[in-house]
Amino acid sequence: MTTLTLVKAINAGLRKAMEHDSKVILFGEDIGPLGGVFRVTDGLQKDFGGHRVLDAPLAESGIVGTAVGLAMRGYRPVLEIQFDGFVYPGFDQIVSQVAKFHRRMDGAVAMPITIRIPYGGGIGAVEHHSESPEAYFAHTAGLRVLTPADPQAAYLTIQQAIACNDPVIYFEPKRRYWDKGEVDELQSALDLSEVADPWRARIMKAGSDVTVACYGPMVRTCLEAAEASTDISLEVVDLQSLSPIDYETLASSVERTSRLVVVHEASMSGGIGAEIAARIGERCFYVLEAPVTRVTGFDVPYPASRLEEYFLPDLDRVIDAAEQVMRY
């Protein structure tokens, strides 16, 4: 086991995927000699060459469009979008071409494209650098959506995303980039018989009173809330995959606890939490003892950095929600 930050774990996973398959190509703004804004691709161009780790123009639509052509020719492009708010110029290519091409070709041409997007707040950044746009992509049929919560998950799931023949939107929680954790670099992520299925949720902490469903940057926050909550036993479920969502694991947890709180940074209206509340309300109607409660960002544009602590869900808001559902 090696102790790595989440950044280094993704870097190690990219390296492993590139060593395994010569068709894996990295493409993005400043990912070559600089190693990307967050240094996720640090050293990869030096080791694999400029023909496999390419700096792209500042044009997200061109980056995604180029990846479509590469995928059609049998490559496995891995794109880096510098920040969450920069993905929108490439949004048309993603939802109109990447998501639909496999279906349009009746399965004859796959789109094994991985689009890496640092997302979320908590780093004191300026406008368009702290958004959480995951619901747009989870809503789009034809796309898979993954978001790791810790270094071990990041190391494995980035390899699994690249190996997947479906296009994967890979959201990286930038506020957790520097969190450290143990990583087994000898473990192969390319054989699902050996490692966890990336499309399945993970129970991070067992509990008996309230299920707390979360993902990405909020997993650590919810685990801290579970540790701090002395009167209520919280079961923390890391969804990990936002499309598809593993409702089997989540529903099994709710059947044990009879209560559900969903936590995410994105605004409440139309968010992932709304879909989960509806699905669990349908599946677990007869065991729920309280309405499904959401703890989210507010329905306002992401605020200036000096105000973001009031926008982001924190430990106290998670515990308050758990206490609320326990009062029913």
Give the number of other CB atoms < 10 A from CB of residue 208.
Answer: 12
- Report the alpha-carbon distance of residue 138 to residue 217 in Å, rounded: 17
Q: DSSP code of 82?
A: S
> Among residues 239, 257, 250, which one has the least CA distance to residue 283?
250
Find the distance separating the first CA and the last CA of the chain, reported in whole Å: 45
Pairing of strands 168-173, 114-119: parallel
Of 128, 129, 139, 264, catalytic: 129
In DSSP notation, 122-157 reads -S---TTSS---HHHHHTSTT-EEE---SHHHHHHH
Catalytic residue flag (residue 20): no
Residue 30 corresponds to which tokens in the numbers above?
């400043």
Contacts for 12 with CB less than 8 Å, ≥ 6 apart: 4, 155, 183, 185
Mind telling me the catalytic residues? 129
